[in-house]
Amino acid sequence: MKVAMSMIRIATLGAIIAALPMGAHAADTITVPTSAPAEMPIYQQPGFDWGGFYAGIYGGAQSRESGTQYGLGVQAGVNAQFDFYLLGAEVAVHGLAEGDADVGNSSYGQILGRAGLVVTDNVLVYAAGGYGIDLGAPDESEVLVGGGVELAVTDNVSIEAQYLHGFPLEGGEATDQITFGANFHF
């Protein structure tokens, strides 16, 4: 019986030793992160809002076969921006003068439709088409076709360059008009 008791003690001692916690060795260690890596939020300034009303001033030249006229004018319009597409309408009036004559010697009005693409947040490229009319004598009108580029320089101000070609409808000659201006967006 003594031998049996010794055997039981040895078996019990072996079971206790086997049950003791030991470090496990595996091919892949399992780790549990204690916190997620924090990424710094990136602030992106919103792009220029081309939609809404605007008004501005411009200067330019209008060239015909009979000569070149220079002038200053005012314009007002409205744009609607759909993602990166833009649709708009504009009305403008400017006084014209030839050579050394006073500006306002003649006046010219135009109504334009605009369709364009917002190339970057601050750059708009557009095509324009509409109707132009001399507001004094002689009675001349024309269809206008052209385009331009507009660049936002602050949150509310943009500068633009535009070219329009006029096809005569009533009297007159074909015209080429180049303008440079600034607009305030409301």
pLDDT greater than 90 at residue 29: no
2.30.30.110, 2.10.109.10, 2.40.160.20, 3.40.1030.10: which CATH number matches 52-185? 2.40.160.20
In this prediction, residue 104 has a pLDDT band, given cuts at 50, 70 and 90, of: low
* Statement: residue 23 has pLDDT above 80: no
Per residue in 118-146, pLDDT (tens digit) is 999 899 999 999 999 988 777 789 999 99
pTM for the complete prediction?
Answer: 0.73
pLDDT at 134: 87
pLDDT of residue 18: 67
Please give the Cα distance from 179 to 90 (Å, whole number): 14
Model confidence pLDDT, tens digit, residues 54-75: 999 999 999 988 888 899 999 9
| Whole-angstrom distance, CA of residue 169 vs CA of residue 139 | 11
CA dist list (Å): 1 to 8, 80, 131: 11, 102, 122
Sequence letter at residue 103: V
- At residue 76, the pLDDT reads 98
